[in-house]
Structure 1
Amino acid sequence: MTERKRAEAALRASERQFHTLADSIPQLVWMTHADGAIYWLNSHWYEYTGRPAGEIDPHAWHTVLGNRWTEALATGTALESELSLLGKDGEYRPFLTRVVPLRDPHGVVYGWIGTHIDISERQRSEREVRRARDAAEAALQNLRETQNWLIEAEKLAALGRLVAGVAHEINNPLGTSLTVASSLERKSRLFAAETAQGTLKRSSLNEFVDAVRNGSAQLQESLNRAAELIQSFKQVASDRNNSELRSFDLGDLTEQVATGLRPALPKHGVTLNVECEQDLSISSYPGSYGQVLTNLFLNSIAHAFPDGRQGKIAIKVSACGNSDVEIIFSDDGCGMSPDVRRQAFDPFFTTRRHQGGTGLGLHIVYSVVTDRLGGQLRLSSEPGEGTDVRIILPRQIPDRT
């Protein structure tokens, strides 16, 4: 009897220790018999619900947890679920419920212990994280759309500058042609009048013939120059609008693009030299290649020769092994500092923001070369030493249309 009393006392002490521990934690803790009937709840349960023990339905979990609780009782397996519990303030709050079986030394389930953990704050944090993520994704999408719009705007602006340069250049031969045509028209009227009056002299005839010969030569030269510019620009514009993969002579296309670019050169001091290997056929996207040369040219004009500085721009095209071609675009301008060189291809980086620069010209070059044309490029530049852009393109790239 003494041993039995001692064992019962130890059991009661153990239960008191357990209840004290269960009351000290912030979770709602409860215990049931093997059949799931609730027989004990910790103090936090009563604090949350505001209901005394007598008002707790012993089989409440059958109603709340439903079939999952029934299955757990039948199989003796642990259970985890989320549910809402009514508090004494009349508000439902979300809880994470965990229930584990209690087993005797022989493995037989003699009861269950469960906890309810308030996850209101966690769910609120998750909602805030989701809102922040959605806002970030929306901002990123908006940024991408804005960047794409700016890239397209920069492409159109580059083409617009090219159009303006070509139009200005065409004005010269057309103006000359108009002057010569007017002069020939006046001389023709005088010649016709002298012929009608019968006062035509041999000297007048010779003078008229010389004027017609010289005027015709000037007209032909000027109109051929204008036609050459127009044809070159039409080819470049056609290639820009054509996204199809096709075979073309890289040297010929480079010369055509250069012809369209020369009118945009500053009027004094900057020259454009082109050196192309002959019979260099490749299969690629000519419009994208023309865009690369145009952007490099316009970037060089804008940045390499400030304050009317004189200099040279050179484009050299040659084979590079059996499967690649090399394009070297260089200038002997003011060059770049290490910091500018490091950021040169970054989107929206520009040293001319106050002059309307978007910082997308070289970024477009990098994107087109590495993505659209499947190539690679390397930038070399030092302050006062000019700039070299070396581009390696494959002679044959897959059709991505």
Structure 2
Amino acid sequence: MANNIPPTLKPLGPLVALAGALGLALLWYFVIWLSGYAGQYPRLESATLHAALEAGGSVIAMMVAYLLLRLEAAGEGSSYNLLIATALLGMGCLDGFHSMAAAGNLFVWLHSSATAFGGLLFALILLPISARNPHLRHCPSIVLLVAVLYGGWSLVFQDLLPSMIISGKFTPAATILNVGGGLCMLLTAAKLFLTYREMRKVADLLFCLQCMLLGSAAIMFDRSSLWDLPWWMWHGLRFAGYALALWLAISTARTINNHMLCLQDTLERQVVERTHELQVSSVQLQMTLDELQQTLDHLRLTQRQLVQSEKLAALGSILSAVAHEINTPIGNCLVVASTLDNTISEFEERLMAGKLHRAQLDKYLETSHVAMELMQRGLHRAADLVTRFKLVAVNRATYQRRPFDLRKLVTELVARTQTTLGTTPYRFELDMPVELHMDSYPELIEQGLTHLIDNSLKHGFDHLDHGVIRFLAGVQGDSVRLIYGDDGCGMPAVVMDRVFDPFFTTKFGQGSNGLGMYICYNLVTGSLGGSIEVSSEPGLGTTFTLTLPLVA
């Protein structure tokens, strides 16, 4: 990724860095060749300096491996973080054992093993293995464990080790291990360079340079002997490779850290801005809620006023209808009473004058009986209207709530109705559970069903010589769904829409006052706390669906 380029490297350019590493390696080769041409190489026998270089390289390798594993977790660094870290852990561990060994066969064996081990591990990059393979995450730990066991075995069983140095000269076995490891590192450098050309990750190029330095140092091993100048020079190249990797890892980690700090600052600013925006939005929302609450309060007030107006209008309509209905029988009674009063006055005059005949007495008595019959009929009609009007405002507090069986209640109501109807051709059918217990007001339910039956007999079966009334019921949750239906003549939509209106009837002046269905509606929706719906079509009968709570 572009954001993992160390800022200090960007102005130089990756190709300039590559050319510098190649130049350094060639300069090392030229110095070695020139020193050999001049004669014997100068020698510097310093075990302390050598131990410091090797120990420093080991520590650096371990640090770089750790940083690479961190970069891999962050999705940064090289394209082969896990494989490079694995190789560095193996080399660094064996170099650490090498730094602790005294000059001799074990000394050379551990160094040669570190080079060969590292070269082979670096060469894993050449294989067609996906760098994101989940199985690779265990490689660093496995390689580190193997390196520790290998180094410990070499220290314990030194007698079993092959000869690495004879009379101050390195044996072919030592040369093969070092040169072979160096060639693997140079091939890996070529692979990393091609990867850089494709992916444009500068970390790939820098690790390419490290592999070139480590590989060049390994190949120079063949041209050196213990403690001479070439020997020290390829140690310098080796240490430079480790230092380059350390610089890259530290620079990349620092860049990522700076980037994370910038992201953190940006995030904090965004949090502050969003918090401010939320606070402003919260204030605006609260103002809107206050306005909505005021509007809602106003609507509720308006609703109460409308309801009150509708109640007054409905009450006025009912009073007007009641006055109209009662006015007819009472008016008839007044007319009859006035006529009877005139008749009594004439009878009294004749009686006082002594001109009363038998025929006049009979006529007076007949007229009086007819008048009294008419007045009684009118007063009974008025009394019946008043009684029904009182039922409109029935109060359930008048009745006692108690448990009862709905099927038994309907069965008894049907039996009484059939007794009243006598031999009429109308039948009743019940489809209800055997025990349908409710805790409600059975008298009010019976009154409502009575009005429904009365409506079917007077209107649904009008001009029909047969008819069936059906009761269906069942429990739904905490309610009872009671369906009442008849197969009568039905009703058109204009009548069905007004069926529950007070004083609405299709048989006005024929003995119907239009209060039965209105009373039924009030009983179900008011006192019983349920609902009632109607559906009907002309010629297909009428169905009323009552939903009543099991416990009123």
Identify the structure with the greater helix proportion. 2
TM-score bin, normalised by smaller chain: 0.3 to 0.5
TM-score, normalised to structure 2, is 0.34
TM-score, normalised to structure 1, is 0.44
Identify the structure with the greater strand proportion. 1
